Amino acid sequence: MRALYLTLLLAFFSSVSIAETFVVSDIRVEGLQRVSAGSVFEAFSINVGDEVDSQRLTSASKRLFKTALFNDITLKRDGSVLIIHVVELPTITGLEIKGNEAITSDALKDGLKQSGLAEGLVFKRSTLERISLELERQYVAQGRYDANIKTEVTALPRNRVGLVITVDEGTVASIQHVNIIGNHVFSNDELLKIFQLQTSNFWSWYASDDKYAREKLSGDLETLRSYYLNRGYIRFNIESTQVSVSPDKKGVYITINVSEGDIYTIRDIKLAGNLVVPEEDLERFYIIRKNEDFSRQKVTLTSDLMIKRLGNDGYTFAKVDGIPKIDDETKQVDVTFFVEPGKRTYVRRVNFAGNETTLDEVLRREMLQMEGGWASTEKIEAGKKRLNQLGFFKGVNVETPAVGGTDDLIDVNYSVEEQLSGSLNFNVGYAGDSGFIIGTSISQNNFLGTGNRMSLSLQKNDTVQSYNFSFMDPYYTVDGVSRGFNFYHRKTDFSNQSFTSDYQTNTLGGNVAFGYPISNRERLSFTLGVSDTEMFEGSVVPAEISSFIDEYGDQYREYSLGSSWKWSNLNRGLFPTEGAQQSISVDLAIPGSDLTYYKIGYKADYYFPIVPDWSLRFRTELGYGDGYGDLDTLPFYKNFRAGGIGSVRGYRTSSLGPKGLPEYNLVDVVATDSSGNPVFETDNLGRPITDGSAPSNVYYYDADGNIVRSENDAGYVPVYELNPNNGSVVKAPAYVESEQAIGGNILIEGSTELIFPLPFIEDQSSVRSVVFLDVGNVFTSQCYTPEDNEIPNFTTHPYCDDGVNLKELRVSTGVGVTWVTAIGPLTFTYSFPLNEKKGDKT
C-alpha cells in the first residue's frame, strides 16, 4: 500500500512539478548515507543528455524503489538539473534472539537471513512481521500451540536499528487420544501399534512419544497407508484428518477417517519398455507372484532390484516403474514394469575427498570401478564397502554426478571421514589376573597413510613379559598379495596364578606370511615360522606337565606352517553392523620340529541389523588340536584356553576347562587319635578329609603310592609315616585337590550380542555398546593316565573327563562398552556367570 501511495504521489508530483519535457543537463542525488551514487544511477537508468518527461521519470522512480534500499524517493527539477532526494531504509546493526531452545539460535539466524533479516541488511518492518508469523507456524508444527513471538525494534543513530526477538516456546502439546474411523478389518489397537505418535503412557517421559508434531503425524499417516497397501488394499484411502487442540493448548486429539476398500490379488505381471538386458534377467527379480495379495512394498522392491541390475550394465539413470492396472469388478491387479534404461553411462573420473592422511593410491587400489569403463552400480557400491572394511574411516559416502554438457558421463566421488587407526600407549596398572602391569605399545593400521600395518609392543606383568614387532603390507603386489613379518620374544610365568598351571616358558621366534585374494570376499593366507621354547617346571605342577617334561625334555624347536581361509562381506572393518565373516585355520608343527602337532580352528561372525543403530551379533569359535608322529598329545602349553574378555566373560582369564592331576605328597599330621592314627572323616564319596589340621579334600596313599582300603565303616584307612624313635605319626601321604586349569585340545565358544546405541551420544561411530550372552568351555580327549606304578592302582582322573560334555558349558551375561579413543580402544565390561560350579574362578 505504501509503494502504491508513493507511486501515485510521484505521478501527481511529476505531473505538477515536471510537466514539460526537458533535456537533463545534470543529475544530483541527495540523502545518501550508505548507498553509493553509482548504485542509484545504475537503477535509475536516466543519463545526462537524455530527454525526459513525467512518464519516463515515473518509470525510473519505480525501478529505484525496486532496489529495496529506500523508504522514500522524491524527484525535483532545478532548471535542467534533475534532483533525486532519497530516504534510505535503516540498516540492522544488532540481532538478538532470546528464549529459544527447541530451535537453535544459529538455525534461526540462518532462516532469518534467507528471508532478508540479518545484521548488515536493510530493515523492513513488513519482513519482520512476516517472519514472526512464520516462526509461530514453525512452533505450531512442533506441537507448541502456546508459543509466542515478540519483536522489539530500537532506533539507533546514523539510520540504524537494533532488533530483539523474544521467543516464548511454550510446551509441546501431548496426545490425549487418537481415533481411527472407518476401519473394520484391523482394530484401532492393532493400527496404533505401528504409529510413532502414541497417547501418554508410562514410558512417555523418556521416549517423548506422546508429543505432537505435524511431521510425525504425516509420517504415521504414510505408515498407515503403506500398512494397507502392502496387504492388498490398493483402494485404501485416508479421507480426512482432524487435529483438535484443548482450550489450554496442552492437549491434542487426532481423528483419522479412512476407507479400507477390498483386497485385490495379482492377476498378471508383465515387462514393457526398452529391454536392453535379457527379459529373463529381469524376471528373476520378481518379488511379487501371481494370485497373491497385492503389495506396494514388493512392487517397489522389484523395481529397485531391476534398476540395480540395469545399473550393473552401465545404465546408471535407468527407471523402472511398476504400474498397477486395477480391475474393480474382479478385484484383481495387472502389474506392468515399464523399463526406461536411458543411455549407457561411462565413468570419467573416480575422485576422493576427505583423506587428509591416507594416500589416494590406498583408496584407489580398493576400487573395482575403473575410469573409462561403463558405470556399474554394483562395483561402485563395492568400492564403498571395501573402503569401509579398511577400518580407517568413520564413514564413507559416494555420489555419481553427471558431467556437465554430457548425457553419458559421470564422475564417481567418494568422500571419507578419517578416524584414528592407530594408538600409542603407555600402561601402568593392576589386573586381578595378571598383577601389576607396565608396558608401552605403538600400533598403526594405516602406517604413514600407506595402508601398511605396523605394531611394536613391550609388555610386562606378573604373568607375561613380551616384546613383539610386526609389519604387514596388504598390497605387496598390485594384485593384492600381502606380505608380513612378525618377530617376538615372550616369557610367561603362571606361578602367581593359583587357578592355572604352574610353569614358565621362554620363547623366541618369528614368521613370514603371505596372503592371496581368491575373490573380492575371500583370501588364502600362508605362514612359515620358527621358534625356540624353553620350559621351566614350577614347584607345584600337575602330573600332566611334569610327565610331559620328563618325557620330551624342556627345550623345543618348532618349524611351523600355517594356512587359513577367510571370507567376509562385513559392511565395515571397525564396528560392523551387517554381514558375515568366516575363517578356517590350520597350524602345523612340521616334521623336523622337536614336537609335531596340529591345531585346527573355525571362527564365524554374523551381524543382522534390526532397526537403525540396533543389530544382533552371533559369534562362534571352535578348535581342535592333537599330536602326530612321535607325539600322541597336544603339548600342554599349546592347549586352548577359555574364560575372560574375548571368550566367556564373567570367568577369570584361562580359568575354565580341565584341571591338572596333582602329584601326591606327605602332609604333616598334627591331630591323632589315642592309637596314634591321623584323625579324619570321609566325604559323601567316601574320600578322607582332615579335621582341619591338614589341607582339606585330600587323597591318602601308602609309602609306595597305593591307596589302602578296608571294609570297615571308616572308609579309607591311611598308611602313615612313623617317627622311628618313638613310633608317633609324623606324616600322612596326601595330595591337595587341584585348582590348576591346564586347558584342553577342544574349544567350543559362542556368544550372542545385542548392539544398541548409547543414549545421549550423537556420534555412535566410535562407540559400541552391547548386551551379551556368552557360552563356552574347553574340553580334552587326552586325559592324563599315569604310567605303571607312578600312582599304583590308579583308576580314573578325578578332574578330567574324556570328550565333550555339553553340560559343562559355562554361561555368562552382562553389558560391555568399547570406545575408540586417541590412545586406542578402551573396553569396559560388567558380567556375571549364570551357571557357576564349584571350583570356578569368577
pLDDT band, residue 714 (cuts 50/70/90): very low
User: Does the pLDDT value for residue 691 go beyond 70?
Assistant: no
**Mean pLDDT calculated for residue range 200-205:** 65
CB 542 within 8 A of CB 662: yes
pLDDT in tens, 37-59: 887 888 888 888 888 888 888 88
pLDDT in tens, 50-108: 888 888 888 888 888 787 778 788 888 888 888 888 887 888 888 888 877 777 777 77
Residue 185, CA distances (Å) to 182, 191, 225, 293, 332 in order: 9, 10, 14, 15, 19
Give one DSSP letter per residue of 529-590, joined into a string. Answer: EEEEEEEEE-SS-BHHHHHHHHHH-SEEEEEEEEEEEEEE--S-SSS--SEEEEEEEEEEE-
Around Cβ 380, how many Cβ atoms within 10 Å? 23
pLDDT at 760 (0 to 100): 73
Can you give the CATH number for the domain in which 332 is found? 3.10.20.310
Residue 142 and residue 210 share a domain: no
Q: Assess if residue 451 is contained within a domain.
A: no
What is the Cα–Cα distance from 552 to 540, expressed in whole angstroms?
A: 19
354 lies in which domain range?
Answer: 346-418
User: Does the pLDDT value for residue 231 go beyond 60?
Assistant: yes
**3-class secondary structure per residue, 377-412:** HHHHHHHHHHHHHCCCEEEEEEECCECCCCCCEEEE
Highest mean pLDDT among 117-121, 337-341, 466-470: 337-341
The pLDDT mean for the chain works out to 80
Percentage of the chain exceeding pLDDT 90: 37
Q: Which amino acid is at 724?
A: P
pLDDT at 6 (0 to 100): 41
Can you give the CATH number for the domain in which 781 is found? 2.40.160.50
Q: Assess if residue 445 is contained within a domain.
A: no
Residue 643 and residue 520 share a domain: yes
User: Does the pLDDT value for residue 680 go beyond 70?
Assistant: no
Instruction: Give the domain-ending residue among 418, 444, 469.
Output: 418
Residue 508 and residue 643 share a domain: yes
What is the Cα–Cα distance from 814 to 671, expressed in whole angstroms?
A: 47
Q: Assess if residue 471 is contained within a domain.
A: no
What is the Cα–Cα distance from 689 to 679, expressed in whole angstroms?
A: 9
Between CA 66 and CA 76, with CA 70 as vertex, the angle to 5 degrees is 95
pLDDT band, residue 273 (cuts 50/70/90): very high
- Residue in 737, 759, 753, 747 with CA at minimum distance from that of residue 839: 737
Instruction: Lowest mean pLDDT of 144-148, 381-385, 610-614, name the range.
Output: 144-148
Residue 138 and residue 61 share a domain: no
pLDDT at 786 (0 to 100): 66
Instruction: Lowest mean pLDDT of 259-268, 558-567, 753-762, 773-782, name the range.
Output: 753-762
Q: Assess if residue 440 is contained within a domain.
A: no
Q: Which amino acid is at 378?
A: E
Residue 763 and residue 641 share a domain: yes
Torsion angle of alpha carbons 278, 280, 284, 286, nearest 10°? Answer: 90
pLDDT at 296 (0 to 100): 95
What nine digits make up the cell of 694?
591338614
pLDDT at 427 (0 to 100): 52
**Mean pLDDT calculated for residue range 742-747:** 90
Residue 693 and residue 768 share a domain: no
pLDDT at 718 (0 to 100): 41
Instruction: Domain count for the chain, please give it.
Output: 7
Name residue 503's beta-bridge partners: 537
Instruction: Give the domain-ending residue among 240, 259, 278.
Output: 259
Around Cβ 549, how many Cβ atoms within 10 Å? 16
Q: Residue 750 — φ and ψ, nearest 5°?
A: -165, 160
Instruction: Give the domain-ending residue among 204, 238, 259.
Output: 259
pLDDT band, residue 410 (cuts 50/70/90): very high
pLDDT band, residue 11 (cuts 50/70/90): very low
Q: Assess if residue 444 is contained within a domain.
A: no
Q: Assess if residue 439 is contained within a domain.
A: no
CB 716 within 8 A of CB 686: yes
Residue 276 and residue 133 share a domain: no
Residue 194 and residue 99 share a domain: no
pLDDT in tens, 212-226: 778 888 899 999 999
* Contacts with 558 (C-beta within 8 Å, 6 or more apart), sequence order: 509, 530, 531, 532, 533, 589, 593, 594, 595
Residue 730 and residue 590 share a domain: no
Distance of CA 527 to the CA centre of its chain: 32
Residue 164 and residue 180 share a domain: no
pLDDT band, residue 425 (cuts 50/70/90): low
Residue 107 and residue 235 share a domain: no
Q: Assess if residue 456 is contained within a domain.
A: no
User: Does the pLDDT value for residue 682 go beyond 50?
Assistant: no
Q: Assess if residue 481 is contained within a domain.
A: no
pTM for the structure as a whole: 0.62
pLDDT band, residue 401 (cuts 50/70/90): very high
pLDDT at 370 (0 to 100): 92
What nine digits make up the cell of 385?
564397502
CB 652 within 8 A of CB 432: yes
Residue 283 and residue 335 share a domain: yes
